[in-house]
Amino acid sequence: MVCFVKKYKPVTLEVKPVLGTLLEKFRIIKNIIGNLLEGILRLLEKPSEFELKEQYLIEKKEKLDTVYKGDFLWLEKYKLMH
């Protein structure tokens, strides 16, 4: 039987934060240029019906249908999942 016990840490060994100024070489500078969302693909507002593809077969769709049956997802999100 193996038992792990956390060792008590005396108050004298605890680390306490100290207020101070950070040197310039350690500061993080955010330099955001342009629109970061410019090249991102947008999702369709009205997803299309299921289309058979090479990697996503009808068997996988039917298996997901049995797992997520009922009112688990809204119809649009259900179509988007497929």
pLDDT tens for the 82 residues of the chain, in order: 666 667 777 878 888 888 888 888 888 888 888 888 888 888 777 767 766 666 777 777 788 778 777 777 777 777 777 6
- Please give the residue range of the domain that contains residue 61: 47-82
Give, in order, the Cα–Cα distances in Å from 81 to each of 6, 30, 51, 60, 78: 46, 35, 12, 12, 5
* 70, part of any domain: yes
* pTM of the shown model: 0.31
Distance CA 11, CA 15 (A): 9
Q: Is residue 37 part of a domain?
A: no
Q: Comparing C-alpha atoms, which of 51, 82, 54 is closest to residue 68?
A: 82
The pLDDT of residue 79: 73
Which stretches within 1-82 are classed as H helix? 58-67, 75-81
Separation of CA 8 from chain center: 36
**Domain-embedded: residue 60:** yes
Specify the pLDDT at position 3: 65
Q: What pLDDT does residue 22 have?
A: 82
56: number of Cβ within 10 Å? 13
- Radius of gyration, alpha carbons of the chain: 27
Is 27 among the domain residues? no
